[in-house]
Homo-oligomer: A and B are copies of this chain.
Amino acid sequence: MKKSLGAKIIVAATHVWVIGTYDKEGKPNMMTAAWGGVCCSQPPCVAVSLRKATYTYGNITERKAFTVNVPSADYVKQTDYVGIYSGRNTDKLSIAKFTPVRSDFVDAPYVKEFPLVLECKLLHTIEIGLHTQFIGEMLDVKAEESILGANGMPEVNKVAPFFYSPGNRTYYSIGEYLGKAHSMGKVD
């Protein structure tokens, strides 16, 4: 039996991404964002939604670029930290011990310590309400060599991403392998 919970953001679990930008003066900033996802395969694009009040909002608007950094579960505490405080008045990266590295393809820094990073060029800005959605075209994906499998792709258990549950405001790790997509559901 289903119970109505109203119009609330309750979606089981979202990914947790850290968004890397430079401000006007070139100071690198990182902020955690859980609203977003892949939004197109060709061109390969991701969407990230931010409130106008965030420092990152102004940085993306100014620089037309951002990075999406996928933290491993080892960094859950520091990732939570950069989501709570603003880079406007805090030296977040020093405290979190995240090393900013200049991207090769876009005007934004990525987190050296994270296993997987996406370099994104701003393509569209969509005003929705409290959040503005930034759609970025992925110009490059970079992965730590140590997490790559035999097929040259990142192994999920080595990336060790984690997830955010908006209903309970809690974090969860990734679990077990369940099967092959576009395959296990095939019928003859």
Residues of chain A whose beta carbon lies under 8 Å from any beta carbon of chain B: 1-15, 34-47, 49, 68, 70, 73, 76-85, 95, 104, 112, 116-118, 123-124, 126, 128-131, 133, 135, 137-145, 148-149, 151-156, 159, 161-187
User: By the criterion CB–CB under 8 Å, are B172 and A178 in contact?
Assistant: yes
Separation of A54 and B52 alpha carbons in the complex (Å): 34
Given A10-B116, A164-B181, A186-B84 in contact, is the A42-B130 Cβ separation under 8 Å?
A: yes
Q: Which residue of B lies closest to A166 (CB)?
A: B38
Given A40-B133, A186-B81 in contact, is the A10-B154 Cβ separation under 8 Å?
A: yes
User: By the criterion CB–CB under 8 Å, are B80 and A4 in contact?
Assistant: no
A76: B residues at CB distance < 8 A:
178-179, 184
Q: Which residue of B lies closest to A95 (CB)?
A: B187
Among the listed B14, B41, B179, which residue makes an inter-chain contact with A37, where contact means beta carbons less than 8 Å apart? B14
User: By the criterion CB–CB under 8 Å, are A11 and B46 in contact?
Assistant: yes
Given A7-B141, A83-B185 in contact, is the A173-B175 Cβ separation under 8 Å?
A: yes
Among the listed B15, B128, B166, which residue makes an inter-chain contact with A12, where contact means beta carbons less than 8 Å apart? B15
In this complex, the member of A6, A70, A133, A151 whose beta carbon has the largest number of chain B beta carbons within 10 angstroms is A133
Apart from the given pairs A126-B135, A151-B168, 7 other A-B contacts in the complex at a CB distance below 8 Å: A3-B143, A76-B184, A80-B179, A80-B184, A124-B128, A171-B180, A172-B177
A178: B residues at CB distance < 8 A:
73, 76, 162, 170-173
Leading 9 A-B pairs by shortest Cβ distance: A37-B37, A80-B185, A81-B185, A173-B175, A175-B175, A153-B167, A12-B161, A42-B130, A40-B128
User: By the criterion CB–CB under 8 Å, are B14 and A38 in contact?
Assistant: yes
A141: B residues at CB distance < 8 A:
4-8, 10
A151: B residues at CB distance < 8 A:
168
A140: B residues at CB distance < 8 A:
4-7
